[in-house]
Amino acid sequence: MATQEKQNKMNVTIIGTGNVARSLSTRLVSGGNSVTLLTRNVEPAGELVSSLQQVAQAGATARVAPLGGAIEDDVVVLAVPYSAVEEIVAEYREHLGGKIVVDPTNPLNATYDGLVTPADSSAAEEIARLLPESTRVVKAFNTAFASTVAAGAVEGRPIDILIAGDDAEAKATVGKLVEDGGLRPIDAGPLTRARQLEGLAFLHIQLQFTRGTNFGSMLKLIP
């Protein structure tokens, strides 16, 4: 691979090894970007690392490390339940200054019939309040179901990834990662738009039950 091309690739830290971590990692490594997965249970994640190595392109790598260790990457994804974020951010707060923190969470309540965040806020904005001012929070990946992100497309059309944030450079960085992975980034505006993105994802979840699409549909803007 040409050195120039390699220099444009990144290493992304993902906290979690669940559905979103797996699907996002698949897109990242298949787009030539590397991942470090931080987890409470390193051993079972070995199988995930092996499967990622099989789809990695252009020298991308995947590795797993214990949660609690240092975060070296500039982009960190919180692929955990919203209820776990406060504890994780408390542990890592000082490490996250100046970094891009990507929030894919949907703050659903226990009965899946509402959101736990105040109507005049969003998970992303609440997370931004917990972090240093220099942290650039970007809402992304919450409106697409993990299985569709892993596949990259539904019925042959690439998944749209709606991205909200207040820092244009941070959104562009996330957009490039999305594009590298074969998905379509769409700038949805400032971080306050996360309120609508979380509402949209909530609706998309409810539609699975009325339409019986088993978390296999996608939200697509045409054109």
Positions that interact with ligand NAP (CB under 6 A): 16-21, 39-41, 67, 79-82, 84, 87-88, 104-106, 141-142, 145-146
Residue closer to ligand NAP, measured from CB, 60 or 146: 146
Q: Alpha-carbon distance 217 to 219, whole Å?
A: 7
Residue closer to ligand NAP, measured from CB, 9 or 100: 100
Q: How far is the CB of 13 from ligand NAP (least distance, A)?
A: 13
Q: How far is the CB of 16 from ligand NAP (least distance, A)?
A: 4
Q: How far is the CB of 3 from ligand NAP (least distance, A)?
A: 35
Q: How far is the CB of 138 from ligand NAP (least distance, A)?
A: 14
Q: Alpha-carbon distance 170 to 202, whole Å?
A: 25
| Closest CB to ligand NAP: residue number | 18
Residue closer to ligand NAP, measured from CB, 82 or 175: 82
Residue closer to ligand NAP, measured from CB, 82 or 128: 82
